[in-house]
């Protein structure tokens, strides 16, 4: 990239040399565009035109156009600009190891894969309803790729929570360190009975660009289930009672398979959770899959 910036400066110096030599006028100053993805230089008559394209994080192009009009100081004098610019286009060094198309680059990411979705259980359905989940899978992370519109690899860190609702006629309770279900006695109405798991995410993803506006991500997500609690609220006559339990023996580590498809930063995702939230004797397995809305950038 330093070679590109140096070459741009050389273009302006070469284009303005006749002005300095003939009229002793100062050279025009033009802003340098750093990390340009594409540079096009054309010349028509005495006007040299430079167009630079730079892509932002959403792969939207920003264009910078500069023009330099080189003329002699005296209308009576004639001076033709040389056709030889003494430089090789398109400004790439002979050593391709330094070419931006092949060099592996690293960049920070953040607020990626913000999600909200429905969670469907394929076991424990007798006692547990389908629930939901919400969070940010990649609050901060690192991505490696070879440039814009290339396949990349990313790893990050985020957080989220998932909620499981008890089926009608059941409520969550605690027996020792285990999460258990109890049947509701007659005359007692359950306003709500839920079980929440808060967790940290470590996503390891392969990102495949789909044109200029689309993206497909696939990989695995490691979950650190750091906190779990249950809350049951019952109504008996005019009395309302709320009971909350915590300090369960949920698995500290679980893993999900993840895939998402986004267009213009908005899309859908799907996960499969083959690992149980609780070990044998400490609670329901709560295995399932989920689908929902995924925001690639927020």
Identify the pLDDT of residue 122: 85
Considering only residues 25 and 166, tell me which one the structure prediction assigns the higher pLDDT: 166
207 band by pLDDT with thresholds 50, 70 and 90: very high
Considering only residues 248 and 7, tell me which one the structure prediction assigns the higher pLDDT: 248
102 class by beta-carbon count within 10 Å (0-12 exposed, 13-18 middle, 19+ buried): exposed
186 band by pLDDT with thresholds 50, 70 and 90: confident
Hey, which CATH number is domain 105-295, 3.40.50, 1.10.3470, 2.40.160, 1.10.30? 2.40.160
Share of the chain above pLDDT 90, in %: 47
Q: How confident is the model over 74-114, as pLDDT tens digits?
A: 555 555 555 555 444 555 444 444 444 467 889 998 899 99
d(CA 81, CA 21): 13
pTM: 0.64
Q: Per the structure block, which two tokens stand in for 237?
A: 């006559």
Whether the predicted pLDDT of 20 surpasses 70: no
Whether the predicted pLDDT of 201 surpasses 70: yes
* From 39-43, 188-192, 253-257, 291-295, the region with the lowest mean pLDDT: 39-43
- φ and ψ of 237, to 5 deg: 65, -125
Instruction: Kindly state the average pLDDT of the residues 2-20.
Output: 51
Range from 27-41, 132-146, 174-188 that averages highest in pLDDT: 132-146
Q: Per the structure block, which two tokens stand in for 23?
A: 């009229």
- Residue ranges covered by each domain of the chain: 2-98, 105-295
User: Considering just the CA atoms, what is the radius of gyration of the chain in Å?
Assistant: 31
Identify the pLDDT of residue 149: 83
Share of the chain above pLDDT 70, in %: 71
């Amino acid at each position: 990239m330093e070679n590109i910036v140096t070459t741009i400066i050389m273009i302006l110096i070469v284009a303005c040399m006749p002005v300095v030599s003939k009229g002793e006028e100062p050279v025009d100053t033009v802003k340098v565009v750093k990390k340009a993805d594409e540079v096009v230089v054309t010349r028509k008559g005495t006007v040299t035109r430079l167009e630079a394209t730079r892509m932002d994080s959403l792969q939207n192009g920003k264009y910078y156009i500069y023009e330099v009009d080189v003329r002699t100081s005296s209308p009576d004098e004639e001076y033709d600009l040389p056709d030889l610019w003494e430089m090789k286009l398109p400004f790439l060094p002979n050593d391709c190891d330094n070419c931006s198309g092949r060099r592996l680059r690293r960049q920070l990411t953040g607020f990626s894969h913000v999600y909200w979705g429905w969670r469907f259980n394929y076991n424990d359905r007798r006692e547990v309803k389908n629930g939901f989940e919400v969070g940010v899978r990649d609050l901060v992370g690192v991505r490696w790729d070879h440039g814009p519109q290339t396949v990349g690899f990313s790893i990050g860190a985020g957080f989220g929570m998932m909620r499981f609702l008890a089926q009608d006629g059941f409520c969550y309770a605690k027996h020792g360190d285990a999460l258990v279900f109890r049947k509701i006695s007659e005359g007692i109405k359950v306003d709500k009975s839920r079980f929440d798991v808060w967790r940290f995410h470590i996503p390891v993803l392969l990102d495949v660009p789909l044109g200029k506006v689309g993206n497909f991500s696939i990989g695995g997500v490691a979950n650190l289930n750091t906190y779990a609690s249950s809350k049951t609220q019952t109504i008996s006559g005019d009395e309302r009672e709320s009971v909350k339990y915590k300090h369960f023996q949920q698995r500290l580590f679980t893993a999900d398979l993840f895939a998402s498809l986004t267009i213009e930063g908005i899309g859908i995702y799907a996960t499969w959770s083959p690992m149980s939230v609780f070990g044998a004797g400490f609670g329901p397995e709560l295995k399932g899959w989920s689908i929902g809305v995924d925001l690639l950038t927020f």
